[in-house]
Each structure stands twice: as C-alpha cells, then as structure tokens.
Structure 1
C-alpha cells in the first residue's frame, strides 16, 4: 500500500515537472518572439522561468532518490557480502540524512528571512524560491528513512542493496571489456578458427 502511494506521488511529481517545463517553454519562447518581432516582452518571464527551473531541479531529485537514479560506483560495494552491503547502505543513508537536515535547516532559514521580501517583477514572496529546498529535504528524508527501514528489516534483495547506477560511459566501457574478453577467449579456444571436419565425401 505504501509503495503504491509513493509510486503515485512520484507520478504526480513527474506530471508537475512536465507542466512546469511547458510553462517555461511558453514564457521563454514567447518572450523571444515578442522582443524580436514586436519590440516588447513579457516582464515576468525571466523571473518565473528561473524559479520554475529551480523547482523542477528539486522535484526531479526527489524522483531520482525514489528510483535510485543517482550516479555512483559499485566497484567495492558489489563485491561485499550481504551484511557488508547493508552496513554500507545504512552508513550512506545516515550521511545523506545528515546532509538533508543541513539543507533543510538552511533553506528554512532563508525562507523565513525572505518571507516579507517581494520579487522585483512579480511581487511574489522570495520565500517561494527557497521553499523548494524545504520541500525537497522533507520528501528526500522520508524516502531515505523508508529505504533504510526496508534494508534493516530484510525487505530488500541483495541487488537492491547496491543503490547506485554507473554512468553511461562506465557501462559502455564495461560492455566493451566484456566483449573483448569473449573474443579473446574464443581466439584461444582449442578449436580456434580451424574448420570443422566434414562428415564424409
């Protein structure tokens, strides 16, 4: 039940990100057309687009945490036994929770300081800009805590304990190395490139 709820929540975030990107495209492209075509512009375009970009970044980071899409290297962790992988996962999540707390505290303080400060063009509270960090920190902390509880309670498989993804370049390099290893093994095969004997003439 909880997993389905989180899945739907992340789907909602994805829809929100798509909608925000669409608004950004309309504002920026419309502003360019009006400036070059009609010698005017949308005054609020740059400010709102900048805020939307920041919110999109943090909303995408929440979804990335849920999908374990953050990049890393599993060169060491993947070779550890199950207990070692659990220890590394818990330590890593504790560090991420600490950093998330620092980020939450800083963002909250900035939101409070700028609560009564109005943006120069839109007149909206600048606290909206810093609220993105508060929102991200709360959601990220909940997801990290859930992942850590699942790991400690044995609900994660051994493969799921390695919560990083190699970069595309690293994955391509490993695939190339595997292909070269197969070709090398084939060239040193007893049969090699010798033709197979015919059954008869």
Structure 2
C-alpha cells in the first residue's frame, strides 16, 4: 500500500513540475511574441490568448496539488516554537487536535466545493470555453488528499503506530540537526 501511495505522490510531483514548465513556456512565449510585435513582427496576433488563461488554471492546480504534497511531507506552516517545548505526549495531543481541525476544514472545503460544483459545471472560461469545474474541481482533490492524510495520522497516533521522526517533524525538527529545538530543550 505504501508503494502505491508513494507512486501516487510521485505522480503529483511530476504533475506539479509539468504544470510549472508549461506555465513558464506559455508566459515566456507570450512575452516574446508581444515584444516581437513591438518591432513589427506580428506572429499569432502578438500573443496566444489561450496561454494566459491556461497558465492561470495550471497555477491553481499546481497550488492545490502542491498543498497536498506538502501536507504529506509535514511541511505546512505551524507553531513549532510552542510545540517543540512539549514532551512526546503533549506533541501527540497537539498533533491530534491539529489534525482534527484539518479534517474539519477539509470537510467544509469539500462541502463548499460540492455545493458550487453545479454552478461551475455550466460556467465556462471566456477564452478556452472549458467548464469552470476544471478550475474549481481541484478543491475535491485537495480536500480529500489533505483530509485523508490527516485522518491517517490521527489513526496512527491513536493506535500507537506514529513514528518518532514524524512526531519530531510536527514540532519543527527535521533531521539530526544538533541545533534543533529539541536538542536545545534537552
């Protein structure tokens, strides 16, 4: 199961890289086409209108899929200066409460996306004409992805299967850094 999840997240990372590369190519290409039109060489009407809209849509997808990847790596912002001062039990309690709030927020986010889905199915983007559900539908992926990660971590915490490394990462300690907060507290 872990290999399947690792493979899925590798696909997410490749997707993010592809979105970023395509966005750079489209925006840079449009900038060049516009600059060339300033010198009288007009290609593709001085720019490709679809590229602006598609790059915005890709940025939204990159951001939300990236949030799921970052959630798996425990790299979202947190108040680790406070949590680092707790012992293991306090960290587990703080992690469980934090993850419960994340699950609640993901449920609200999913519900809001669900409620708006019908509207976005019929709305179309002005240039490409694609359904706006392709933009806002990424909320389903983000809510399910981050919510599932948080639920899994709560289950691991409550069943005693949470490893020390993950607990230390929650407190802002990454690796065997002798200057880490835990080393200073101990």
TM-score, L = length of structure 1: 0.77
Give the C-alpha shift of residue 6 in structure 1: 1.7
Distance 1:150 1:62 in 2: 19
Moved more, 114-123 or 99-108: 99-108
Q: Select the structure that is richer in helix.
A: 2
Do the aligned partners of 2:23 and 2:55 also contact (CA within 8 Å) in 1? Answer: yes
- Corresponding position of 2:113: 107
Aligned 8 A contact 1:68 1:164 in 2: no
Matches within 5 A, 1:19-168: 19-37=18-36, 38-39=41-42, 40-162=46-168, 163-165=170-172
Whole-angstrom distance in 1 between the partners of 2:166 and 2:128: 45
Runs (5+) with no aligned partner, structure 1: 179-201
Distance in 1, matches of 2:20 and 2:133, equals 21
Distance 1:150 1:156, change over 3 A: same
**Secondary structure in structure 2 of the residue aligned to 1:75:** helix
Could you list the structure 1 runs, at least 4 aligned residues long, displaced by more than 3 angstroms after superposition.
none
Q: CA deviation at 1:117?
A: 1.2
* Contact 1:114/1:126 (<8 A) preserved: yes
Listed one character per residue, the Cα deviations across residues 168-197 of structure 1 (whole Å, up to 9, x for unaligned) are xxx9xx68xx9xxxxxxxxxxxxxxxxxxx
Which ranges of structure 2 fall in alignment gaps of 5 or more residues?
A: none
Q: 1:99 to 1:75 in 2, by over 3 A?
A: same
RMSD over equivalenced CA pairs, Å = 2.3
* Structure showing greater Rg: 1
| Other-structure match for 1:188 | none
Describe the superposition over 1:86-134 as per-residue Cα deviations: whole angstroms up to 9, x where unpaired. Answer: 2111111111111111111122222221101111100100111101111
Q: Which moved more, 1:29-38 or 1:94-103?
A: 29-38
Asked if the contact 2:81/2:171 (under 8 Å) is kept, the reply is no
CA apart distance, 1:78: 2.5
CA offsets 1:21-73 (integer angstroms, 9 cap, x no match): 11111211111111221332101011100000010001111110111011223
| Contact 2:84 2:171 (C-alpha < 8 Å) held by counterparts | no
